[in-house]
Amino acid sequence: GEDAEIVAEIGSGIGIGPIAATVMITLVKAAAFVALMLVVGRRVIPWVLHTVSHTKSRELFRLSVLAIALGVAYGATHFFGVSFALGAFFAGMVMSSSTLSSQAMRETLPLRDAFAVLFFVSVGMLFNPGVILTAPFALVGTVVIIVGVKSAVAYYIIRGFGRDHEQGLTIAASLAQIGEFSFILITMGVKLAIVPTEARDLVVAGAMISILLNPLLFHLLDRRLTRKAAPDAAAPAAGPEAGPLT
C-alpha cells in the first residue's frame, strides 16, 4: 500500500532497508508520543481534572477520567501508531501525577472491575483447549520456561545484587507467571502476522497454567520459610538451663 511505498522511499533515501526504516519510524512515533504526554499531558490533563472537580459532580468527573483515558489511547493509536493499551497506560501515568489521582482511582474502581471482567472473558475466548492434546510437549516446555527458567533467572539476579536466599525465592515466586500484557502482546503479534496462531495458543495456555500454579508456589514457599523460622524462634526461648539453687 501507500504506507509501504513511503517507508521504502524513506529507507532508500537514508540508505537503510525497509524493515530498519519501519522500526526507526515506529520508534520516532513512540518517542514523539511519550514526549508529548510528558510535556503537554502533564499540564493539560491535571488542569482538566481540576476544572471538572470544581463542578462538584461525581458523574462528570468519572466520565472525564474515562474520556481522557480513551481519548489518549485512541490518539496514540490513530496518530502515533502506538498500541491502544500503551496509550491508556500513559494516560493513567500522567493522571497519577495529579493531586486528584486518588479521587480518580476511587471513582473508576467500579469501571475497572467491569472492564477486568470483560478482559478476562476475552482471554478465555482466546484459550484453545485443543493445544493440550495436539502439542502437549510444547506446552510443557512453555510452562517450564515461564515458571522454571524465568524464576531461576530472577533468583540469580536478586542474589547477584547481594540479597539473601529468602528474598531471592520470594521474587522468583512472584515472577513465576506471565500476565495481562502477555495476552496483549501475543494478540498483536498474531494480528501483525509476526506470530502464528499455534504460538498464541501455547502462550495463552502456558500463561493460564502459570497463573494457576503461582498460588501453590507461594504456599510451598510460605511453609518452607515457616519451618525454617520455627527452630530459630524456639532456640532463644529455651535459654540456658538453670542450675540448682544454693
Map grid coordinates 504506507 to a residue.
Answer: 3
Walk along the chain (246 residues) and give the pLDDT tens digit of each residue.
444 455 455 555 555 555 666 667 778 888 888 888 888 778 888 888 889 888 888 888 888 888 888 888 888 888 877 777 778 887 888 787 777 778 888 877 777 777 777 777 877 787 888 888 999 999 999 999 999 999 999 999 999 999 988 888 899 988 888 877 788 788 878 887 888 888 889 998 998 899 889 889 888 888 888 887 776 655 555 555 555 554
Q: What are the boundaries of each domain within the chain?
A: 2-111, 131-228
Contact 65, 95 (CB under 8 A): yes
Closest CA to 21 of 35, 39, 9: 9
15: left (phi over 0), alpha (psi -120 to 50) or beta: left
